[in-house]
Amino acid sequence: MIAALRSLLLVLALPALLQAAPALATPGKLLEATPMEAAPAGARAWRIRYETTDVDGDPTPSTGVLVAPDGASPVQGRNVVAWAHGTVGIEPACTPIRSLDQIPDLADMLARGWVVVATDYPGLGTRGPHAYLAGDAAAAAVLDSVRAAVGFAPAGAGRRFVAWGHSQGGHAALFTAQRARSYAPELQLLGVAAVSPPTDLAQNMQHADTTVRGLLTAFTARSWAKVYGADLATIANRTTQGVIDRATAGCEGDPFSAAGLVRLLRLRARLGNLDLGGRAPWDALMARNSITALGKGMAPLLLVQSDADGLVATPVTRRFFNRSCESGATVRYLGLPDTGHANTAIASADAVLAWLAERFAGQAAVDDCAAPAGNGVTVAAQPVPQV
């Protein structure tokens, strides 16, 4: 009798239990695809919204753009390039891909028959907070953008892809290389091009100019306070927290407006000499979101670094290169002598595309780890358009 009563109560309670249960994540599920105007000739473009995961592995939406050539796709599907953008801000309004012109050499990639997908990252274009320089979340956003492309029949995307990113996007591309096999084993990552990537976050901040360090510290601190629950009071008093909030509230070029420059100077005075790597809990978070090396068996890597980069320090990138070599990775190192941080992706685009084409063609990747002293190659930069 008691057992029967328990069974009856369970049946009656089941609908409520099911309603209370959280929805299961479906990483890479395409939620929406809206046609975009001004697609390149011979191509179609869509704004997409898809499901991915946050720093805790919980479901969260992300937006992005998807561009594909017109016409029938090969039986195996088109090759895919996942573009990961650099820093544009941390506010939800800072949707980075407002124009297709922001994706380097897009027309060339489409002419080669490739599909291009570019994530905005969660919290940019969707409800925040944005997990700035949070490796796991960024890699998930890149990998799930490829899954979303594969699941959208009009794009004709296959499962073979490469990742290409600049600055914050270079950081995302490296974490993509590290996580691809475990997070998205059904996809085939053929290569990763990381341009000016922050690797050891603490070391990069220490090498940066004090003004730049102040801004990066502000972006990182405000984002991680929301994403990880780190207490801003451990590094900033109430006045400094107000400066951080105001200085990181804008998008794109705002920090360099007249008012933005004043805020930068205030950040420099208050945060320019702060070492997050020496303060708990920030030190553990810096270590969690740094990447020391890629290893044997991971996709080949093209590492691009400018010696004139004032934000991502060449010695830090070279250390990452050397450690990756010691770990058995296959790495091509491309050095540019005189481009600034902002221009490195455009200046190296032709060389990067040629390298990506070799990966899709199945050619063996050149390994500069085997070269004398692992010096890589230094090339003259392409002309950078004036804007």
Q: Which residue is it, tokens 């702060």?
A: 274
pLDDT at 377: 56
CA distance 51 to 271: 35
Q: Which of 68, 60, 66, 130 is nearest to 95 (CA)?
A: 130
The number of beta carbons lying within 10 Å of the beta carbon of residue 259 is 12
Q: Which of 74, 82, 67 is nearest to 139 (CA)?
A: 82
By CB atoms closer than 10 A (0-12, 13-18, 19+), residue 162 is: buried
pLDDT at 16: 41
pLDDT at 387: 26
The residues, ordered by sequence, that sit 6+ positions from 349 with a Cβ below 8 Å of its Cβ are 104, 105, 382
Asked if residue 195 lies in contact with residue 165, where contact means CB atoms within 8 angstroms, the answer is yes
The residues, ordered by sequence, that sit 6+ positions from 96 with a Cβ below 8 Å of its Cβ are 85, 88, 102, 120, 121, 124, 125
Q: Which of 269, 272, 273, 319 is nearest to 292 (CA)?
A: 319
Q: Which two tokens stand for residue 314?
A: 């060449």
pLDDT at 97: 60
pLDDT under 70 in the chain at which residues?
Answer: 1-25, 96-99, 252-266, 270, 272, 372-387
Please give the span between the terminal C-alpha atoms of the chain, in angstroms, as a whole number.
81
Distance (Å) of CA 29 to CA 52, 63, 151, 186, 233:
8, 12, 8, 14, 38
Asked if residue 47 lies in contact with residue 36, where contact means CB atoms within 8 angstroms, the answer is yes
Would you say the pTM of this structure is higher than 0.85?
yes
Render pLDDT for 168-220 as a digit per residue (tens, 0 to 9).
999 999 999 999 999 999 999 999 999 999 999 999 888 877 777 778 888 99
The number of beta carbons lying within 10 Å of the beta carbon of residue 319 is 16
Sheet holding 301-306, edge to edge: 30-35, 43-53, 59-69, 115-119, 78-84, 157-166, 188-195, 301-306, 331-336, 377-378
SS3 292: coil
In degrees and rounded to multiples of 5, residue 75 shows phi and psi of: -60, -40
Q: How far is CA 66 from the centre of its chain?
A: 16
Q: Which two tokens stand for residue 181?
A: 């096999």
CA distance 297 to 308: 32
Kindly give the pairing relationship between strand 78-84 and strand 157-166.
Answer: parallel
CA distance 252 to 84: 16
Q: Please name the amino acid found at residue 266.
A: R
Residues 286/288/289/294 CA torsion (nearest 10 deg): 130
